[in-house]
Structure 1
Amino acid sequence: MLQIVIGYPPIETTKGTPLLSQNRQFQYFNAPTYIYPMVPAYAATLLKDAGHKVYWMDGIAENKTLIEWEKELANVRPDYLIVETKAPVIKFHWKEIKNLKIQNPNLKIILVGDHITFNPLESFENCPVDYIVTGGDYDFVLKNLFDHITKKTKLEGGVYWRVSDKSIKQKPAAMNKLSPALKIGNSGPASLAHNLDELPFMDRDLTKWELYAYENGNYKYKPATYMYSGRDCWWNRCTFCVWDHTINPRGSYRSFSPERLFSEVKYVVDKYNVREIFDDAGTMFVGPKLKKFCELLIESGYNKKVVYGCNMRFNALTKDFYELMKKANFRFLLYGMESANQKTLDKLDKGIKVEDIKNGARIASQAGLEVHATVMLGYPWESYDDAKETIRLARECFDKGYFSSMQATIVISYPGTPLWKECKEKGLLKTENYEEYDMRKPVMKTPMTDSQILELTQELYSAFFTPKFIARKIMSIRNVDDIKFFAMAAKRLIAHLMDFDKEQKRGVLNPKFWMHSIKAMGSQLFSSANSKLPGREIKA
């Protein structure tokens, strides 16, 4: 039996809470937010079921200092530490791995995640990491790695190791010589063909599910939790999405069967009294699978016990499906709007038309579902007027009641994505320092200044601030849950405005922050939702 820690070392920064786990993008939030890491949690469950002693040490969600977390790790004295990483924090992880190796000489460390899948050799060159497991099925592959170490089971594809490591008995499928003294072997391309229905129910006690049950803007009814019905998105093409092009590449999509998903939903509701579930598959399955899952919720009566939410596409469903989802007690649907400019949607390979945004949101909202749109600004090819058109469409959708909420961000070209490759080839990257890919400022050259993009992002976050939308929300209050939810939303809005404020380093008490925020919201309150830029026309 091995002692294994799955951990997130605390990242001590003044920027806010790092959104590292279960996140396709990376961002620091001024509003504390903790997202349940699905694949690491399944990995912990698989390893525990295999007979290993597993510890869950999320120092970020537990609000520990780095020193406290390191002391806890030293007390546990694990044989192995597994860490998920991403581009904006990988340099921190390299430094921390060096420190941990000094503090715990016998500790072996494994990195997983999207960035190391794109460039696994880089981390061996920059820190004394022992293993790298690539691909999005690293829960299955981690179990296989430890089976190999303890039972000499044949290694699946996706594992990288130092050839000098005597624990690996298998001959490498390929080998890279990084220096005369450093040779890295690997077991071949990432293994991505596992049957998800074979996964056990996630051990939510082991993985401390309550850490992630409250501080999350996707939740209205608490305690709440996450499911992960597919890996990852059946569209699987968006050029900015790092998961679509690294850990879950095109052609690798798989999902639970509706019956398997419902069984775990039922288990979680019965055991933990969860009131709401958000399914974080990149896009939830549609068609017969979605129909069957909704029917299972309705026929079992669990549509009266739990509220459900998921990621969806604007052009994926019909009115009948939305009405069925409402009957099954779906509440919250998250859509990637990205832009109101067709050229951008085409370049991103979104597979939607601008008119789909308004039409899809209208049909969903008319069925009684709450539409949340994610939008980005700062594309290299978009002008100031293009960005203003995106804000105008968002405002119109709020004003008409099609959108209920929104997340605004600056687009980041993560290493490994087609967007990043295009920017690198065309000289559009302002920096290749990963630490600056944290969404606090643009990393691509655009026709706009950084200041303009930050101001427009604040303005976009204020797009909801129309008299009709505010009145509609006030009239919709029915109970204490509604009041709590709107209070949380107001608090998070202020924090998100600060995320993109030029004066963010000086804090919420800074008068300039409030001047910028009031200006952004005022520009929406007193502008016409239907005002269009010249030559723009969007039909519903």
Structure 2
Amino acid sequence: MRALFLQAPAYDGFDGGAGARYQARREIRSFWYPTWLAQAAAVLPGSKLIDAVPHGIELDAIVREARQYDLAVLHTSTPSFRSDLIALEALKAANPALIAGFVGAKVAVDPAGSLGSSPSIDFVAGNEFEFTIREIAEGRELSRIVGLSYRDRDGTIRHNPPRQVLEDMDQLPFVTPVYQRDLTIEKYFIGYLQHPYVSFYTGRGCKSRCTFCLWPQTVGGHRYRTRSVTNVIDEIAWARHAMPQTKEFFFDDDTFTDDRPRAEAIARELGRMGITWSCNAKANVPRETLKVMRDNGLRLLLVGYESGSQQILHNIRKGMRVDMARTFARHCHDLGIKVHGTFILGLPGETRQTIEETIRFATEINPHTLQVSIAAPYPGTELYRQAAEQGWLDADNAELIDHNGVQLAPLSYPHLGHKEIFDSVEDFYRRFYFRAPKIAAIVGEMARSPQMMRRRLREGVEFFRFLRERQQEAH
């Protein structure tokens, strides 16, 4: 079958790609690559990938193009499901013979509810869906495809056995040829990465047990299954040749540093190639590993600190001590490794005091940049189960975003309400960025690079506009 893979139109600036841990509009316009869709598209030669929002592609244009295809696969999420369903129904209305379905954590954890939301949905696929989709495209009977829930000819919803987890990750083809073929990489911005950047996965799964984290609990699992070092380096070499404008490569694995010997081996190969790169890391990487990575092209680490309160870290099973995170941050500063720190407000046990602890902790360790999110209980996570059982979840905010695609505060506690959690995000940003040393550092960075000056000025305008919209939403 001729296959169309689609990240559908949504809110302006909405970052819905699979690389986005939180599907929402950002403080600064940012887009992750639709890596999981690209992986499935790579398995099917002759397929087409459309990532609508970054490329400004409207639904009408996609509907016209969809008439050429036999199969449409849309990635969806809890925040975007309603708008994604509108897109799928429009494709089916224009091409009734089209077989159309969803992939993503939302449908993996609730296949029956997802299929029941509309008779237009023919199937939803669970974990490791690349080869599930390939078997659909090959024309196999849906009843014989593992990892699939589907609607049969009578309209009855059927569930097949789950697909076995993929162990040999080198079986997967490279995703970067799909980027090069179907995407404009200059459309993808991340505030803390050099532009243009390219990101992809070198493995799946995360051994950590954080209660809030979506991917390991829904589609990735808690074992870190990795591609071989040679396989990863071969893709880097291909992508550097095919997309020479790339300034930086980012490894989007949940925790790239979970396998330190492998991380060091990849780093040494990248160093020989002269590659600038960054990755996700936990704040427990020892100095000697940090130095090996720094000496071989590592520029930045994306680190999920989450909170400066030890009790909250225990509550969410982060497996991290605040004093260890301080030591890690000091090593990164000493070695000249930039850190983008991510924090979450509103996690179980949050109080006014723990929010204050977290803000003070962030200013103390002083990452180069940071992101402050609101705790989001995605279905399929331990946090969602806790919230439902304890009555913390506001059903009116279950979609996790507002009508503009901006994060809501769906959790509240007897001692800490929605509005206080929502407002604390802006307070956090202002107290971190509006310090004299941080302002001086940003101005110095801009003065050294005209390109950085243009970029930071644009991001500043977007940031203040975002804060203004949040204030209007709050009132």
Taking structure 1 as the reference length, the TM-score comes to: 0.80
Letter in 2 for 1:22: G
Alignment partner, residue 213 of structure 2: 241
* Structure-2 separation of matches of 1:214 and 1:86: 20
Letter in 1 for 2:189: E
Alignment partner, residue 412 of structure 1: 376
Letter in 2 for 1:197: D
Could you say what secondary structure the match of 2:359 adopts? helix
* Structure-1 separation of matches of 2:35 and 2:261: 25
What residue ranges of structure 2 are gaps of 5+ in the alignment?
Answer: none
1:126 aligns with 2:117: yes
Letter in 1 for 2:218: T
- CA deviation digits over 1:75-127, x for unaligned, max 9? xx210100000011212223333333222111110210001010001122111
Alignment partner, residue 520 of structure 1: none
Alignment partner, residue 55 of structure 2: 62
Given the alignment, which residue of 438, 449, 452 partners 2:417? 449
Structure with the greater alpha carbon radius of gyration: 1
How far apart are residue 249 of structure 1 and its match?
2.3
* Structure-2 separation of matches of 1:416 and 1:102: 31
1:343 aligns with 2:340: no
1:497 aligns with 2:461: no
1:24 aligns with 2:21: yes
How far apart are residue 452 of structure 1 and its match?
2.3
Given the alignment, which residue of 376, 380, 383 partners 2:344? 376
* Structure-2 separation of matches of 1:324 and 1:60: 38
Could you say what secondary structure the match of 1:219 adopts? coil
Letter in 2 for 1:250: H
Which residues in structure 2 correspond to 1:225-240 (within 5 Å)? Answer: 225-235=198-208, 237-240=209-212
How far apart are residue 475 of structure 1 and its match?
4.2
How far apart are residue 498 of structure 1 and its match?
4.3
How far apart are residue 159 of structure 1 and its match?
1.1
Could you say what secondary structure the match of 2:332 adopts? helix
Given the alignment, which residue of 178, 185, 190 partners 1:204? 178
What residue ranges of structure 1 are gaps of 5+ in the alignment?
Answer: 165-180, 506-511, 513-540
Check the 8 A contact 1:196/1:255 in 2, yes or no: yes
Distance 1:130-1:47 versus aligned 2 partners, 3 A rule: same
Could you say what secondary structure the match of 1:333 adopts? strand
Distance 1:8-1:19 versus aligned 2 partners, 3 A rule: closer
Check the 8 A contact 2:124/2:149 in 1, yes or no: yes
Q: Once the two structures are aligned, what percentage of the paired residues are identical?
A: 23
* Structure-2 separation of matches of 1:196 and 1:280: 15
Q: CA RMSD in A?
A: 2.4
1:468 aligns with 2:442: no
Taking structure 2 as the reference length, the TM-score comes to: 0.91
Distance 1:280-1:212 versus aligned 2 partners, 3 A rule: farther
1:291 aligns with 2:264: yes
Check the 8 A contact 1:269/1:275 in 2, yes or no: no
1:88 aligns with 2:59: no
Given the alignment, which residue of 114, 139, 148 partners 1:159? 148
Alignment partner, residue 278 of structure 1: 250
* Structure-2 separation of matches of 1:279 and 1:332: 11
Which residues in structure 2 correspond to 1:259-274 (within 5 Å)? Answer: 259-273=230-244, 274=246
Q: Which sits farther off after the overlay, 97-106 or 153-162?
A: 153-162
Alignment partner, residue 355 of structure 2: 387
Which residues in structure 2 correspond to 1:104-143 (within 5 Å)? Answer: 104-127=95-118, 128-135=120-127, 137-143=128-134
Alignment partner, residue 423 of structure 1: 387
1:217 aligns with 2:197: no
Letter in 2 for 1:389: E
How far apart are residue 57 of structure 1 and its match?
1.9
Could you say what secondary structure the match of 1:5 adopts? strand
Could you say what secondary structure the match of 2:385 adopts? helix
Check the 8 A contact 1:414/1:437 in 2, yes or no: no
Check the 8 A contact 2:28/2:459 in 1, yes or no: no
* Structure-1 separation of matches of 2:192 and 2:7: 22
* Structure-1 separation of matches of 2:186 and 2:32: 6
Distance 1:472-1:93 versus aligned 2 partners, 3 A rule: closer
* Structure-1 separation of matches of 2:365 and 2:31: 28
* Structure-1 separation of matches of 2:29 and 2:315: 33
Could you say what secondary structure the match of 1:87 adopts? coil
* Structure-1 separation of matches of 2:262 and 2:356: 39
Distance 1:455-1:196 versus aligned 2 partners, 3 A rule: same
Check the 8 A contact 1:88/1:435 in 2, yes or no: yes
Check the 8 A contact 1:218/1:278 in 2, yes or no: no
Distance 1:153-1:85 versus aligned 2 partners, 3 A rule: closer
* Structure-2 separation of matches of 1:158 and 1:212: 35
- CA deviation digits over 1:243-289, x for unaligned, max 9? 121111224x3111222111111111122112211111111043210
Letter in 2 for 1:100: L
* Structure-1 separation of matches of 2:324 and 2:286: 12
- CA deviation digits over 1:305-362, x for unaligned, max 9? x3101000001x1111111111111111001111111121111111001112221111
Letter in 2 for 1:6: F
Distance 1:31-1:111 versus aligned 2 partners, 3 A rule: same
* Structure-2 separation of matches of 1:433 and 1:504: 14
Distance 1:98-1:294 versus aligned 2 partners, 3 A rule: closer
* Structure-2 separation of matches of 1:481 and 1:465: 22
Alignment partner, residue 487 of structure 1: 457
* Structure-1 separation of matches of 2:318 and 2:80: 28
Could you say what secondary structure the match of 1:371 adopts? strand
Letter in 2 for 1:290: A
Alignment partner, residue 145 of structure 1: 136
Alignment partner, residue 173 of structure 1: none
Alignment partner, residue 312 of structure 1: 281
Query: Would you say how many aligned residue pairs link Structure 1 and Structure 2?
Result: 465
Could you say what secondary structure the match of 1:215 adopts? coil
* Structure-2 separation of matches of 1:207 and 1:120: 31
How far apart are residue 473 of structure 1 and its match?
4.1
